Structure 1
């Protein structure tokens, strides 16, 4: 998944949405929350003395982690990998999803992002989500699939006054939009799935950490956090079958892997997807001074639903803006696209 960054300086200049809103007021294609936000922004722009330029740095992270969640998900297991039961229905508890319906009438087909929009680029085409000002755009995700753009906006967050930890007050939700709609809006999208807000307790909340498109499959990274204390919950990788989504039935993510995050806070690890060979690469990089300790490399085969240890070295690089990990299997070099980096050591190295 390739993210597109915001422009360095964003100005609100076009005001044609006044005309569009007047066509069908208070209906789906009229005064939506996104449209109201644009009107407010336009009003600011009409008073030059009140206009502010927002400098927004470019983001090249495949799937950004919300800053409030970093302490939770930067712990990696040494031997905590567990396989889900892939022959049964998903073990991930969920709220019932809304049955898929045909796409509503098209929304915006022009690329008109606002200064608080989350922006994405797939196959040279730009998409954006208009977000309320209190939402973290780095906690919004999208993936390109053959059936459309699967995406999830950042939910509203609240801070626990005692622990200062953030937690969502509404559940994360997945939507599917037509590729022709450049604005990813719930008012012109199909609701696919709603995650449960709570993770087994009144103060434990579920978080969505990333979405990765993989042909007809979409992989979801999720975790949890207790708002009353800093607790390491397992990191889960689950999968959605987009063909089933397109068929119109109810869907639930199928859990594939559970990663124990309760130990080893000085690790450098990552997840990567080898699309050509339909595999997930899990790498635990040796960070200590002991040269005898080697990287731990595991490969999860999606076809056979099996995990195996690999005796191979890992080479990391980039292809354009995409981070790549190269490894060998049977003497043949393979490449995998890095989906998620995990471990405090990544950030410690960048700070040096």
Structure 2
């Protein structure tokens, strides 16, 4: 796998402070060898990764029911979508030099690499694996299928100050494309499709990739920002990337969808994609004021992001948690779309807004007890 920035700087601040504390030659004492140090680090990394993975998965489900829209591996509080996004000053752009969008083959650096631990994905019945250094956050490793191949993104190296609010990436998030026949997702044999900016609005604010979905020729990307010291996810944004065009070498920048009010999805909603007609389908139930409900559906063309003819979802209230597809009607004709995610506490009870706090808590507990 391509050598990462943290490989060239083994003495880092934070999680590797003990290197510096050990002195310039930490192997001078008898019995303390490089092999022993590597085994100690590998065991510690495995333990930390297992705990973190469980904590993240459990709390994502916990928070999604009340005020969050589920977005695959990571979710956002809906309020962050209200901001129009980061402002890139000239000083920040100069700091981000060299991370412009690109659709070029990744280089193959055969320098010595740290111990790796793969992340496995099962896509369309086939298993893929992504080799990663032991110190990477596996919860931020993503891979989806598109018509052009497997689109994937490895977690970048992070500086860990032992304080969650001060941890941040040292390299930007990058999207790669691999052949569907290639089971190893490695940058050395993949095409780099796009690299997000590292900074977002200032030298202390960083851009994060929250996850993405495959949608035929396209990918739906979700991002957010964090500022050192705050630890709060802000500036949630939604982008569309034409992966098929990018795979041909065309330099593309993901298009942002800014015309949709994301707060409409807070109460009870579905995000789906009609791959046959290249449409994004947003279906939602308006938040009730007087117990009067109305289903609404908005369609967006994935290439132009323009709004299509008004549509309506068929059987919105009857779509259960196991449904993978949904039907919608447009101009008197029925169409099908693949459900990507569902959000809002309305899926627990449509009268959520009128339930007592005690009853809301009971529903939460019932849901938690059924969640792995």
CA deviations over 1:48-91 (Å, ceiling 9, x no partner): xxx99x7998x9x996334xxx4xx131699x699xxxxxxxxx
Alpha-carbon distance, 1:287 to partner = 5.3
For structure 1, the 5+ residue unaligned runs are 1-26, 34-39, 45-50, 83-92, 106-113
- Report the structure number with the largest CA radius of gyration: 2
Deviation at 1:280, TM superposition (A): 0.7
Distance 1:303 1:216, change over 3 A: closer
- Correspondences of 1:1-352 after superposition (within 5 Å): 64-66=72-74, 70=75, 73-75=76-78, 95-101=99-105, 117-158=118-159, 164=165, 167-229=168-230, 233-257=234-258, 267-286=267-286, 288=288, 290-302=290-302, 305-307=305-307, 309-312=310-313, 314=316, 315-317=318-320, 323-343=324-344, 349=364, 350-351=367-368
Relative distance call for 1:279 and 1:99 in structure 2 (3 A) is closer
Q: How far did residue 218 of structure 1 move?
A: 2.3
- CA–CA distance in 2 between the matches of 1:170 and 1:326? 41
State the SS of the aligned residue for 1:219.
strand
For structure 1, which segment, 181-190 or 304-313, has the greater mean C-alpha deviation from structure 2 after superposition? 304-313
Please report the TM-score for the alignment, with normalisation by the length of structure 2.
Answer: 0.59
Deviations 1:206-226, CA, capped at 9 Å, x for gaps: 221222222222222222233
Q: Deviations over 1:236-292 (max 9, x none)?
A: 32222234323224332222346566x689634332111123211113334557421
Q: Is the 8 A contact 1:316 1:326 kept in 2?
A: no
Does the CA-based 8 Å contact 2:150-2:180 persist in structure 1?
yes
Further displaced range: 124-133 or 162-171: 162-171
Larger strand percent: 1
**1:159–1:166 contact (8 Å) kept in structure 2:** yes
Counterparts of 1:199 and 1:330 in 2: how far apart (Å)? 42
Q: Secondary structure at the match of 1:201?
A: coil
Q: Structure 1 length normalisation: TM-score?
A: 0.62
2:240–2:302 Cα contact (<8 Å) kept:
no
Show CA shifts across 1:295-328 (max 9, x none). 3321113366432554545242467xx7333333
Segment drifting more, 245-254 vs 230-239: 230-239
3-state SS in 1 of match to 2:224: strand
- 1:141 Cα deviation after fit: 1.2
For residue 138 of structure 1, give the secondary structure of its aligned residue in structure 2.
helix
Q: What is the aligned-residue RMSD (CA, Å)?
A: 4.8
8 A Cα contact 2:103 2:249, kept in partner: yes
Q: Is the 8 A contact 1:204 1:225 kept in 2?
A: yes
- Residues 165-204 of structure 1: CA distance to partner in whole angstroms, max 9, x if unpaired? 7543321001122223211112222222210011212232
5+ long unaligned stretches in structure 2: 8-34, 40-45, 62-69, 85-95, 110-114, 349-362
- Alignment check: 8 A CA contact 2:105 2:190 kept: no
